[in-house]
């Protein structure tokens, strides 16, 4: 472990991940919200792009791993801690993976909120299932 800040563990050579040092009041709502979003997102047509998971695990586990990418955790955190209808602003220092980009389009439609992500090379504004980049990123 490199850093333990506010109960969040960070590990060397790990691009994104989430692991609390203990079960906290923060962890459960994030897990619950991510699970609650999974079914409606799939009903709208989202298909997980499991090729983006480089771990040697079962496909079902790959789907779960994709839902815990840092931008989706940030969205869940924002949804829990803001009023409905609030525009979520997320900044990250990496490019979005294609799976997260697709998932966030569906999430923006389900929660009926604008989600703006500042990635390394461009801004993405997700609104009602559409991204401002036109899927060119």
pLDDT tens digits for range 49-92 = 988 888 888 988 898 888 888 899 999 999 999 999 999 999 98
pLDDT given at position 88: 95
pLDDT at 137: 66
Q: Estimate to the nearest angstrom the gap between the alpha carbon of 71 and the chain centroid.
A: 4
Domain count along the chain? 1
- Using CB atoms within 10 Å of the CB of residue 131, give its burial: 0 to 12 exposed, 13 to 18 middle, 19+ buried: buried
By C-alpha distance, which of 115, 130, 75, 69 is closest to 95? 69
| Residue 46 pLDDT grade (very low, low, confident, very high; cuts 50, 70, 90) | very high
Kindly state whether residue 92 falls inside one of the protein's structural domains.
Answer: yes
Considering the domain boundaries, does residue 136 fall inside one? Answer: no
Is 137 among the domain residues? no
Look at residue 52 and tell me if it is in a domain.
yes
- What is the structure's pLDDT at 26? 52
Write down the pLDDT at residue 6. Answer: 42
91-98-43 Cα angle (round to 5): 105
At residue 27, the pLDDT reads 60
Pairing of strands 130-131, 123-127: antiparallel
């Amino acid at each position: 472990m490199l850093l333990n800040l506010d109960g969040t563990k960070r590990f060397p050579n790990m691009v994104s991940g989430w692991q609390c040092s203990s079960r906290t009041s923060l962890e459960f709502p994030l897990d619950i919200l991510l699970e609650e979003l999974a079914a409606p997102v799939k009903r709208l047509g989202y298909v997980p792009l499991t090729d983006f998971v480089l771990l040697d695990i079962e496909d079902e586990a790959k789907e779960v791993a994709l839902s815990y990418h840092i931008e989706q955790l940030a969205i869940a955190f924002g949804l829990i801690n803001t009023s409905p209808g609030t525009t979520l602003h997320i900044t990250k220092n990496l490019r979005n993976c294609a799976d997260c980009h697709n998932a966030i389009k569906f999430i923006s439609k389900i929660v009926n909120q604008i989600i703006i992500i500042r990635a390394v090379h461009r801004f993405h504004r997700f609104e009602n299932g559409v991204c401002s980049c036109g899927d060119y990123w």
